[in-house]
């Protein structure tokens, strides 16, 4: 069965190469140029006809939102403020956790791995004591969702992976007392307002 699949794969590759060879050997028919056609562009040979084309940047088109009441608009503005308030923390968590994973992949000793995790934990705690502790309950809830959006895993899963199940359970108990849930996940369909705010925030235009 494996040899049969391999034979099919080679057949497809050879057929593709043959098609490309046929396209490349066809006589090229170029479009007639006008006196103002001075810009060099890419072209594709389509059965002998050279078709010029230019790659365009992605264009995002957003509809104009219609507010049904001043209260609805005010609620959206509050949501936008909260999202933009915590988005930098979510991006920081993403960069720091990715660095931790990269660092852990370079060491094999358990004590060295524990030190890397401890250093990351202390760095997060320092930021919490100076900045994150000032967040409101709503902002904290949004932050846990955005961490899941950026990392593809919940805050609970991150703590469980780096510090163990008991620590994750303990953190979750404390979080629930103050109105947070470390298991919050992010669904861009359900959170379409948050997703729209993030997409139009400029964070990903670099």
Which distant-in-sequence residues (6+ apart) come within 8 Å of 179 by Cβ? 137, 140, 141
Say how far apart CA 81 and CA 78 lie, in whole Å. Answer: 5
pTM over 0.85: no
The backbone region for 43, taken as left when phi is positive above 0, alpha when psi lies in -120 to 50, beta otherwise, is beta
Task: Report the SS3 class of residue 123.
Answer: helix
Q: What angle do CA 28, 31, 37 make, to 5 degrees?
A: 130
From first to last of its 206 residues, the chain has per-residue pLDDT tens of 444 444 444 444 444 444 444 445 556 777 777 777 777 778 787 777 778 888 888 777 767 788 899 999 999 999 999 999 988 888 888 888 888 888 888 888 888 888 887 787 777 767 666 666 678 888 888 888 888 888 777 777 777 766 677 766 776 676 666 566 777 788 888 888 998 888 887 776 54
Task: Tell me how long the chain is.
Answer: 206
Rounded Cα distance, 52 and 184, in Å? 49
Could you give phi then psi for residue 54, rounded to 5 degrees? -130, 130
Give the pLDDT confidence score for residue 13 in this predicted structure: 42
Residue 141 φ/ψ, nearest 5 degrees: -65, -40
Q: Where are the alpha helices (DSSP H) in 26-69?
A: none
Concatenated DSSP letters of 74-94? HHHHHHHHHHHHHHHHHHHHH
């Amino acid at each position: 069965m494996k040899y049969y699949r391999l034979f099919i794969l080679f057949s497809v590759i050879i057929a593709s190469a043959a098609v490309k060879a046929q396209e490349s050997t066809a006589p090229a028919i170029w479009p007639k140029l006008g006196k103002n056609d001075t810009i060099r562009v890419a072209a594709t040979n389509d059965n002998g006809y050279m078709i010029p084309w230019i790659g365009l940047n992605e264009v995002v088109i957003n509809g104009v939102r219609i507010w049904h009441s001043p209260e609805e608009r005010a609620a959206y503005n509050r949501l936008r403020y909260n999202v933009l308030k915590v988005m930098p923390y979510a991006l920081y968590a993403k960069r720091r956790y990715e660095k931790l994973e990269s660092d852990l992949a370079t060491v094999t000793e358990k004590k060295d791995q524990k030190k890397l995790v401890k250093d990351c934990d202390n760095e997060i705690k320092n930021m919490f004591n100076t900045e994150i502790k000032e967040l409101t309950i709503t902002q904290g809830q949004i932050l846990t969702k955005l961490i899941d959006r950026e990392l593809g895993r919940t805050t609970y899963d991150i703590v469980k992976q780096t510090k163990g199940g008991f620590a994750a359970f303990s953190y979750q108990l404390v979080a629930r007392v103050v109105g947070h849930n470390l298991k919050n996940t992010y669904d861009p369909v359900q959170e379409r307002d948050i997703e729209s705010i993030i997409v139009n925030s400029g964070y990903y235009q670099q």
